Structure 1
Amino acid sequence: MYSKLAKRNMKRSLKDYTIYFLTLVFGVCIFYTFNAIEAQKVIMKLNEYQAHNFSRLDKLMSVVSIFIACVLGFLIIYANNYLIKRRKKEFGVYLTLGMEKRKVSRILLFETIIIGAFSLIAGLVLGIFLSQGISVFTAKLFHVDMQSFKFIFSARACIKTITYFGIMYLIVFLFNSRCIGKIQLIDLLTDGRKNEKVRLKSIKVSVIVFIASIIFIGGAYYTMLKIAVDLMNMFTFIAIILGVIGTFLFFFSLTGFLLKIVQKSKKLYLRELNMFLLRQLNSKINTTFISMSFICLMLFISICMLASGFSISKTLNRNIDDLSQYDASLMGGKVNVPIDEFLEKNNIKLSDYANKYVKYNDYMNKGGEEQLKLQIKKFLGEEEASKYNSYFDVAHNSIIPIMKLSDFNNIMELTNKKKIDLNNGEYAVFSDLNGLIEPIQKALDNKTKIEVNRQELIPSRKPVIEVTIRNDLNKRNFCTFIVRDEVAEGLEKGFTFLNINFKGDKLKTEQDFSKAIAPLVDNNQIFSVSKESVRADSFGMGAMICYLGIYIGIIFLITSAVLLALQQLSESADNIERYKLLKKIGVDDEMINKTILFQVGIYFLLPLILALIHAIVGLKVAKVVVDMLGTGEVKGQLIVTTVLFVIIYGGYFLITYTGAKKMVKSNS
């Protein structure tokens, strides 16, 4: 009997369950898709490094999925709470007719099982098909070939999805039973006629709080932009706290502030249903400011995660050819002699592995005061340097290293690039950060003199050289001076390096060489970065960051849109009596629909607008991270982010407006 009643209720309340059901389906689909990534490696040709990075990606997705499950669990409970509220009168009728509360809970259990089963099946089917396309995208991110495309099903991801969502549905049932057990019959029958408790009644206080919120948010922006190049800082935490507090105060006071402004214009305030609309906004946003604030912050995170995730991944992939020009690059950690001599002392002969290699050092002026003469801001000029503070070394006014002309030319010869020459008293400059080429060239054009080893040098006529001189995961050579060998004699040695190109079967030789130097690497005596490891790590890191951004970004976007949609549908249901009264006094359907559109639109736009303003600062900070990895562009990836927002956020807005309009029309 209870199962039949539950099925009948489901059919009758189908329109109420639409958003709930779609959200569950999307959640299951995305959860399965990102947990099925590990199964995709069976169709890809992966070497040892690539397989290792693939496993790292799978572990990351597993850890993140726990967090995502908590977010989805909160969303499901929150959505279910609104559905319970929507049906309180129905439950009140059951109790009035003599049905026990435990039997009402049993009906809800059957409903939870029915909708849970259908959403799991539909979500898994969509997820299985979506994961097939994701496998192609994954292969492109890792830059690996696919052995043969075949249909992939991950039993592990399927079991994990069913387990996680099964637990969520169980929690939903327990939550429903608790709600039914606590609510009194009079509350069930009269809840729809209760008004929200307004927490902030004074408009003057609202204005003061609103101004305070702007001060908090402005302080957070200023602090973050000031310390953007050094995020591992206590002021980062302070800036985040200021931003969060400011956001909460903003929504707590916003409607009172707007009401004060609009009331000054009687023409605007009394036009059509503006007075009704503003009073509704003042009541609801004032009492739901916590959820509005969380929605705004989630939208902000979603924008930043999607835009910066795509951008960082693209930047890593774009720079990979420059960062892997040599079969291997070694750097001395605890080594004070040239690396080739150090390897010989440890019974490792480079001639066994390579025909060509280059050893070199970087140098610094001796003495603290002499070194300070080669600071990047001094070279570029304070005014010009201030324009490039998003670069870590510029912001920290790093000291520019020096390289011998012979060492630089040996590196150029190893990679078949053109050598350079210098006249007496001249210096040249090279960098691998494209974004700093322009200011460095300006310094050269201005005939900026430098002092190396107590000798004054002028720039040669050669333009700044953009070149990468060793393997690395990211470009970090902001600027290096090239001087004649005799000028560098007696300078303070920095690190010692070695670039090597293997002979014969490069992959096998690289593996043998890595095994030979492994004890030295493990003891941090030297550091080694091979071409294969750089490419695999770079593509793997790009894939992890990209998927992390997509996974969290989309989940937060869906969560925000669903929370707003359910709030507005619930409010429309609560306001049916008010809309009936408006119709009785002569308000036509067109004006009511317009009011509903404005109300839903304002609810969806307010958190989005503030999130976009937050994101402007957030993306500037993200650009600093991108600049540390190489030259990239965050703004260029906003097109993809915008498309996702239009489809998902805009889609939920249209569904909400259509549902609210139909609800008011059918009940009035």
Structure 2
Amino acid sequence: MYSRLALRNMKRSLKDYTIYFLTLVFGVCIFYTFNSIESQKVMMEVNSYQESGFEMISKVMEVASVFISFILGFLIIYANGYLIKRRKKEFGVYMTLGMEKRSISKILFMETIIIGLISLGIGLILGMFLSQGLSILTAKMFQTKLTSFKFIFSKSACVKTIGCFGLIYIVVFLFNSISIGKINLIDLITSSRKNQKVTIKNIWVSFIIFILSITTLGIAYYMVLKQGVAELNGFNLIPIILGCIGTFLFFFSLSGFLLKIAQSNKKSYLKDLNMFVLRQINSKINTTFISMTFICLMIFFAICTLSAGLGVSKSLNNDIKDLTQFDVTLTSNIGNKDIEKALKESNLDINKYAEKYVKYCTYGSNIGFKDFFTEDGMKKGSSFYPVATNQSIPVIKLSDFNNIMRMIGKAEIKLNKHEYASYTNATSLTKIIQESLDRKTKININGPSLDPSKNKVIEVTTSNSTIKNANDMCVFIVEDSAVDGLNIIKSSLNLNFKGDKLAMEKGFNKEVKGLIDRNKNTILVFEKEVILASSTGIGVVVSYLAIYIGVIFLITSAAVLALQQLSESADNIERYKLLRKIGVDDKMINKSILTQVGIYFMMPLSLAIVHSIVGLKIVSNVVSVVGNENIIKYILITSLILLTIYGGYFAATYNGAKKMVKS
């Protein structure tokens, strides 16, 4: 009997709450897909460095999946709470007929097992197909070839998925059992006739809190835009906390405030079923302002994460050619230590490996960015940590700079006596530096004042690096004699291998590894092949994390809103019956459902978009720090993803609610 009841209830639940079931399937599908990335490398032609990149992605995805499992667990438990609420009257009938709570728990357990097995099966099948498409994208991002495209099934990803969702379903069963154990028969029978508890009755209290929320959000926006992202300290938490508090107060006050504003326009308020719809929305927001707050913040986080993740990944790939112009860069990790002397002391003969090499040093100066940049330039460059903290601008000798330019095949420069030039590796700072040069800004390095030369600011990266070096964001080029007596802040040596580069690289790596082990990392090594693989790996990790977390957050937010509205529609069936009895036709009822669902979905989305306008400004600054990349196209991609997921759930919710009320 229990199994038949469970099967019947499952069929009815799937019919009424298709969104819940599909969300489970999507969750399983995405979880499997992003945990199967490492297994895709068998189809690709990868070297040892790229293989380590796959391992890095796998480890990061494992950590991210723990976080994602908690999010999905919350969603499933939250959704089950609404399903239990929807079925209270049904359980009340069971108990009236003599069924014990323990028996009801058995039915729920069977339902959980059946739905769990079906969602796991379908989700895994979809995940297997989706992972095949992801393998093509992965190969493209790693800039490697697919040696043979074949269907890959990841056992480890399957085990992780089954283990994760199996654990979640067990927790769901325990949650359901506890929920059933706590409720009384009278509560089950009369639950549909209970009114919502009103949190705020006084309109003036609502108005004051609403104004307070807007003020709090305004202060948070101002602090974020003024402070920027360069200085990552505890103070950055203040605008974040204020933003969360402001969002909470906004939804906390919205129920009373929104209704009063609507009532002030009698013509619109009394038109069609607007009065009924607004009362329903007011009642719902009144009890769900906490979940509204979290949904709004999750949508905001998803928008910024997707835009930033995709933009940063592309920036890393765009800069990779500039960051790997030499086969190897060696840098002394000791303040005033000259790299050439450090290598000689370590008995490493560079000439044995190098076809050609160039050694150079950058020196400290007493000129800060505030001394050189204009006031407007300081504001524009505030996203860069050296600019925001007014660090001193480094100096390089003219001969060293020209040696580097000659090695990479670029034009050398000339300086007259008492002149200086400047170079940068940050494209977004080029215009700011040029403005200072155009203003004929004098500098004093180590004696007489120097005037800017006629040379335009030069965009160049002077050494291998995993990311554009903060020390090279702005560097002065001066005559060799001008650096006498200045302290060395960085000493580097760039080289290109001679002869058989692969053999030279292997011998060099073996010798340098022993050198580093002996000297306890006093010399830093930046190899071209390692940087190419690691940079690509980091780019893939950032992109996949952005997609993984962003999509899950959007699905969770939309699913919670959908379930809340479906539950609301189920509770309002009797009210819609009364509306039909007094002459309201189906067309007007459908319009009221569309309006109610639309307003409910748009409220958290609207505030999240306002948050995102500020957040995307910060995202743009972050991307500009990493590299030269316009994030507009990634914002458009994010908007398309948001429209697809959020819009899909909205359409499904409207159709589900309409069918529920009609039937």
- Give the match for residue 222 of structure 1: 222
**Alpha carbons 2:299, 2:557 under 8 Å: kept:** yes
**What is the match of residue 61 of structure 1?**
61
Residue 295 of structure 1 deviates from its aligned partner by 0.6
State the SS of the aligned residue for 1:288: helix
C-alpha displacement of 1:309: 0.6
Gaps of 5+ in 2: none
The worse-fitting range, judged by mean Cα deviation, of 283-292 and 585-594 is: 585-594
Write out per-residue CA displacement over residues 211-251 of structure 1, whole angstroms, 9 at most, x where no aligned residue. Answer: 11122222222232333234531112222221111111110
User: Which residue pairs with 1:52 in the alignment?
Assistant: 52
Q: Pick from 555, 558, 563 the counterpart of residue 560 of structure 2.
A: 563
Residue 264 of structure 1: CA displacement? 2.4
Cross-structure match for 1:582:
579
Match of 1:412 in 2: 405
Question: Structure 2: how far apart are the matches of 1:357 and 1:364?
Answer: 24
TM-score by length of 1: 0.95
Matched, 1:395 2:388: yes
Deviations 1:109-162, CA, capped at 9 Å, x for gaps: 221111111111100000001111111111222222332222111111111111
Q: Post-superposition shift, 1:206?
A: 0.6
Contact 1:474 1:628 in 2 (8 A): no
Match of 1:504 among 499, 503, 509: 499
* C-alpha deviation, 1:422, in angstroms: 1.5
> 1:104: how far off?
1.9
2:476 counterpart SS class: strand
Distance 1:508 1:633 in 2: 40
2:490 to 484, 491, 495: 495
Match of 1:514 in 2: 509
**SS at 2:329 equivalent:** strand
What's the CA shift for 1:335? 6.0
Contact 1:335/1:525 (<8 A) preserved:
no
Q: Distance in 1 between matches of 2:541 and 2:417?
A: 50
Amino acid in structure 1 at the alignment position of 2:283: S
Correspondence for 1:368: none
Quote the sequence identity (%).
59
Alignment of 1:245-260 (within 5 A): 245-260=245-260
Distance in 2 separating the partners of 1:241 and 1:464: 41
Letter aligned with residue 389 of structure 2: H
Q: Deviations over 1:362-398 (max 9, x none)?
A: 1233xxxxx1xx2223322113332332233322223
Q: Per-residue CA shift, 1:445-472, capped at 9, x if unaligned?
A: 2322222222222222222111110111
Where do 1:242-391 residues align within 5 Å? 242-334=242-334, 336-365=336-365, 371=366, 374-391=367-384
CA contact 1:142–1:539 (8 Å) conserved in 2? yes
Instruction: Tell whether the 8 Å contact from 2:44 to 2:139 is kept in structure 1 after alignment.
Output: yes
Contact 1:206/1:256 (8 A) holds in 2:
yes
2:445 is aligned with 1:452: yes
Kept after mapping to 2: 8 A contact 1:207/1:257:
yes
Find the residue that maps to 1:450 and give its secondary structure: coil
Which residue of structure 2 lines up, in the alignment, with residue 6 of structure 1?
6
Q: 1:616 to 1:512 in 2, by over 3 A?
A: farther
The SS at the match of 2:493 is strand
Relative to structure 2, which stretch is displaced further, 68-77 or 612-621? Answer: 612-621
Q: Counterparts of 1:194 and 1:649 in 2: how far apart (Å)?
A: 31
Q: Which amino acid aligns with 1:572?
A: S
With 287-296 and 227-236 compared, the bigger mean Cα shift is at 227-236
Cα drift, residue 489 of structure 1: 2.9
Q: Is the 8 A contact 2:332 2:342 kept in 1?
A: no
Given residue 175 of structure 1, which amino acid in structure 2 is its aligned partner? F
What SS does structure 2 have at the residue aligned with 1:360?
Answer: strand
Residue aligning to 1:593: 590
- Residue 433 of structure 2 corresponds to which residue in structure 1? 440
Q: Is contact 2:426-2:625 (8 Å) kept? A: no
1:65, CA displacement in angstroms? 0.7
CA distance in 1, matches of 2:279, 2:481: 81
- Code of the residue aligned with 1:506 in structure 2: it is K
- Counterpart CA distance in 1 for 2:390 and 2:360 is 25
Aligned to 2:473: 478
Aligned residue for 2:259, secondary structure, equals helix
Please report how far the alpha carbon of residue 520 of structure 1 lies from its aligned counterpart in structure 2 after TM superposition: 4.5
C-alpha displacement at 1:262, in angstroms?
Answer: 2.4
Q: Distance in 1 between matches of 2:343 and 2:99?
A: 85
User: What is the alpha-carbon distance in structure 1 between the residues aligned to residue 221 and residue 329 of structure 2?
Assistant: 41
Alpha-carbon displacement from aligned partner over 1:323-344 (angstroms, at most 9, x marks no partner): 0001111111126343222212
Moved more, 54-63 or 420-429: 420-429
Partner of 2:603: 606
Once the 2 structures are TM-superposed, how far is the Cα of residue 408 of structure 1 from its aligned partner? 0.6
Aligned to 1:43: 43
- 1:12-23 matches, within 5 Å, as 12-23=12-23
Deviation at 1:641, TM superposition (A): 0.7
Q: What SS class does the counterpart of residue 583 from structure 2 fall into?
A: coil
Confirm or deny that 1:620 pairs with 2:613: no
Matched, 1:202 2:202: yes
Q: Report the alpha carbon displacement of residue 291 of structure 1 after superposing the two structures with TM.
A: 0.6
Q: Over residues 5-55 of structure 1, what are the superposed CA-to-partner deviations in whole Å (9 max), with x where a residue is unaligned?
A: 222222334322311110110010001001111111222222222222211
Greater displacement, 335-344 / 176-185? 335-344
| Corresponding residue number in structure 2 for 1:425 | 418
2:262 and 2:293 map into 1 onto residues whose CA distance is 23
Report the TM-score when normalising by structure 2: 0.96
My pick for the range that moved more, 620-629 or 434-443, is 620-629
Shift of 1:277: 2.0
In the aligned structure 1, how far is the partner of 2:416 from the partner of 2:231?
A: 43
What is the CA–CA distance in structure 2 between the aligned matches of 1:538 and 1:113, rounded to whole Å?
44
Task: State the one-letter code of the partner of 2:529.
Answer: E
Cα shift at 1:583: 2.3
Q: Which shifted more, 477-486 or 333-342? A: 333-342
